Amino acid sequence: MAQLRILYLVTTLMDLSVAAATFAVGRRAAELGATAFELGLLGSVWLGVYSVCAPLAGRLSDRAGRRMMAIVGAAIAAVSTLACAFTTNIPFLLVLTGVMGMGVGMYWPPIIVWVGGGLTGRPLAARMARFSVAWNVGMLIGYGISGKVFQFDPRLSFVLAAGGMGVIVLLLSLQRGEATTTAPTETAMVELRHVPKGRGFRKTAWLSNFSMLFAVAGMLALFPQLATRIGIAPDLHGYLLLLHRLAALGVVLVLPHFQFWQTRLWPLWIVQAIAVLGVAAIGVGESTAWFCAALMVCGAMLGYNYQASILFTFEEMTEKGKGSGIHEAMLGLGAFFGPILAGWVGNHFNSSMRTPYFFCAAVLAAFIVIEMGLVVWRRGQLGGSSGTPS
């Protein structure tokens, strides 16, 4: 169990570091006068690189081992993040964040599988819930302190992030093996249900990952511009993002107490529909309280979506590294295309800063229809909807 605790700790540290770094990049660029499109690029290019590296790293970790892949990834991310502290040039920031994306993409797939430890069913759901608590706590801390640190000195946000990644390299270097033990509470869980096979669960969840991150990441990438224009201070901006992640954490803590979502697809569509409303609400909001409510709704929906996707992936795939890589890549691709296209819309419809938010909400709504159509088509190909209800 000591190794598992270390894995939870490095999980927290990585997302603390990524939250601090991405907040600092976006806010610094906005204060330097970056356009909506430049903000979109800064919020997405690193995720595009991440999306390419994650499936490759996942497959390689199935063969070469999890620990070394994660160490190299964390080291690359640390160096590139630290370098961001020494430039105010937006194109150079873009390059450095791309390198950071490569490092983070190499880090997460092996860590996710390492934490999963080959478990299935309810034990897997419980352990991945604790994993998600760890990374959400990291993002909470990162967003909670990055605004204050940035307000004191923008460079310190990058130093904080790079330092956290450096500690990860040290902690993982001290680990001698990759096996994680199973706690008695995990082995004692009775296996009552499984994800129905051949019913499109993981692929639907991957599409949901893409669409949810497209909409929410697009919204978050442009929010620094809106926050700057209407006078939201950096520390308050950071607190809003903290509450966004706090809502996700709350959902993650609640989900293990319910079982219905583990064998049904319809909650994914309901969650996306609620997120449509949350993203669109940013487009009509005027007050800090309104933005807070909308961001918390989006965060809660993301918390559910992530848990469903990783559970369905591990239940349906035997190559865990490959599966976690695809799961992460779909997240990254959504978060890559969302900010870029939202930024493009913002530049071409610059008469209103609100148009990109309605665009993101519309794309998410369209994907709900696409996912439902694909499931209906697939089940028709399989000869009906017999079996476990979904």
What is the 3-class SS of the chain, one letter each residue? CHHHHHHHHHHHHHHHHHHHHHHHHHHHHHHCCCCHHHHHHHHHHHHHHHHHHHHHHHHHHHHHCHHHHHHHHHHHHHHHHHHHCCCCCHHHHHHHHHHHHHHHHHHHHHHHHHHHCCCCHHHHHHHHHHHHHHHHHHHHHHHHHHHHHHHHCHHHHHHHHHHHHHHHHHHHHCCCCCCCCCCHHHHCCCCCCCCCCCCCHHHHHHHHHHHHHHHHHHHHHHHHHHHHHCCCCHHHHHHHHHHHHHHHHHHHHHHHHCCHHHCCCHHHHHHHHHHHHHHHHHHHCCCHHHHHHHHHHHHHHHHHHHHHHHHHHHHHCCCHHHHHHHHHHHHHHHHHHHHHHHHHHHHHCCCCCCHHHHHHHHHHHHHHHHHHHHHHHHHHHCCCCCCCCC
Q: What is the pLDDT of residue 32?
A: 82
Lowest mean pLDDT among 38-52, 137-151, 191-205, 258-272: 191-205
What's the token pair of residue 374?
Answer: 């694909």
Provide the pLDDT confidence category of residue 188 given band limits of 50, 70 and 90: very low
Mean pLDDT rounded to a whole number for the chain: 84
pLDDT tops 90 at residue 18: yes
pLDDT tops 60 at residue 386: no
Q: What is the pLDDT of residue 385?
A: 43
**Residue range 5-13: mean pLDDT, rounded:** 94
Closest CA to 212 of 134, 142, 278, 260: 278
What's the token pair of residue 378?
Answer: 């697939």
The total of other beta-carbon atoms located within 10 Å of residue 148's CB is 14
Q: What is the pLDDT of residue 276?
A: 96
The tens digit of pLDDT for each residue in 344-383 reads 888 887 656 788 999 999 999 999 999 998 888 877 776 6
Lowest mean pLDDT among 96-105, 107-116, 239-248: 239-248
Q: What is the pLDDT of residue 108?
A: 93
Q: Is the CB of residue 171 less than 8 Å from the CB of residue 45? A: no
Provide the pLDDT confidence category of residue 70 given band limits of 50, 70 and 90: very high
What's the token pair of residue 258?
Answer: 């319910």
The tens digit of pLDDT for each residue in 301-352 reads 998 988 888 888 877 767 778 888 888 889 889 988 888 888 888 888 765 6
**In the chain, % of residues over pLDDT 90:** 32
**Residue range 167-192: mean pLDDT, rounded:** 67
Provide the pLDDT confidence category of residue 233 given band limits of 50, 70 and 90: confident
Provide the pLDDT confidence category of residue 12 given band limits of 50, 70 and 90: very high
The tens digit of pLDDT for each residue in 122-158 reads 777 788 889 988 988 888 888 778 878 888 888 898 9
**In the chain, % of residues over pLDDT 70:** 89
Q: What is the pLDDT of residue 13?
A: 96
Provide the pLDDT confidence category of residue 387 given band limits of 50, 70 and 90: very low
> For 2-381, CATH number?
1.20.1250.20
Provide the pLDDT confidence category of residue 21 given band limits of 50, 70 and 90: very high
Q: Each residue of 209-231: b (16+ CB within 10 Å) or e?
A: bbbbbbbbbbbbbbbbbbbbeee
Q: Each residue of 102-123: b (16+ CB within 10 Å) or e?
A: bbbbbbbbbbbbbbbbebebbb
Q: Each residue of 350-381: b (16+ CB within 10 Å) or e?
A: eeebbbbbbbbbebbbebbeebeeebeeebee
Q: What is the pLDDT of residue 73?
A: 96
pLDDT tops 60 at residue 180: no
Q: What is the pLDDT of residue 167?
A: 97
Domain residue ranges in the chain: 2-381
Looking at per-residue pLDDT, the higher value among 283 and 170 belongs to 170
